[in-house]
Amino acid sequence: MKKFILFLLGAASIFSMSSCSYNSLVSLDENVKTQWAQVENAYKRRADLIPNLVNTVKGAANFEQKTLTDVIEARSKATSVRIDANNLTPDKIKEFQEAQGQLGSALGRLLSVTENYPQLRATESFQELQSQLEGTENRISVEREKFNTMTREYNTKVRSFPSNISANLFGFKEKPYFEAPAGSDKAPSVSF
């Protein structure tokens, strides 16, 4: 009888621990998903600004068509890569990052080439768009940092005892971080 009571107490304590852990794991998982949506939202803002920038550049300068085409193609590719927040995997995040990196690179080339067009740089609409893009890049950085913070909190909970028991029991897995692309530790060279 004593063993049966100990068994019941042990089972009750495991279920109470797992239920508390389960609820906090669900909450943290939702935080990660919500923050991923914010990351996508910041990237979408950048993608939405690009057609305005391209049209402004086209209208104000006899511009290199290849640079504009590269920006348009990179934007198209970047906006076509979608990730379901319920299925965040390292490979999918890497694919998303690569597409966004290509777009960022094309935008960088566009903005550096515009340095050769003083009348374009002097237009109010170009200056405003450039300022909005700079602000958007900062937003992207902030949202990625918040995503990584939420992911760290979630992953810590998934790996910590006793919540790791609930995580394994209910199928909660670690989520990947948003990592800097290879070579981003080196400053790009800009020459005029």
In a domain, 65, yes or no: yes
The more confidently predicted of residues 123 and 183 is 123
* Residue 145 domain-assigned (yes or no): yes
Higher-confidence position of 56 and 173: 173
The answer to whether residue 164 sits within a structural domain is yes
Task: Flag whether 24 is in a domain.
Answer: no
Q: What percent of the chain has pLDDT over 90?
A: 22
Backbone angles phi, psi at 117, to 5 degrees: -120, 85
Note the pTM of the prediction, 2 decimals: 0.72
What's the average model confidence in pLDDT over 8-28?
Answer: 73
Q: Look up tokens 């400053």; give the residue.
A: 187
CB of 178 closer than 8 Å to CB of 147: yes
**Domain span holding position 84:** 47-170
Confidence of residue 148 (pLDDT cuts 50, 70, 90): very high
**Residue owning tokens 């299925």:** 87
CB neighbours of residue 150 within 10 Å = 21
* CA–CA separation, 89 and 83 (whole Å): 9
Tokens of 138: 């900062």
Whether 190 shows a pLDDT value over 50: the answer reads no
Q: Into how many domains does the chain fold? A: 1
* pLDDT value, residue 134: 86
* Residue 30 forms part of a structural domain: no
Domain for residue 71, yes or no?
Answer: yes
The per-residue pLDDT for range 87-145, each reduced to its tens digit, is: 888 888 888 888 888 888 888 877 777 776 766 666 777 778 888 888 888 999 999 99
Residue 110 forms part of a structural domain: yes
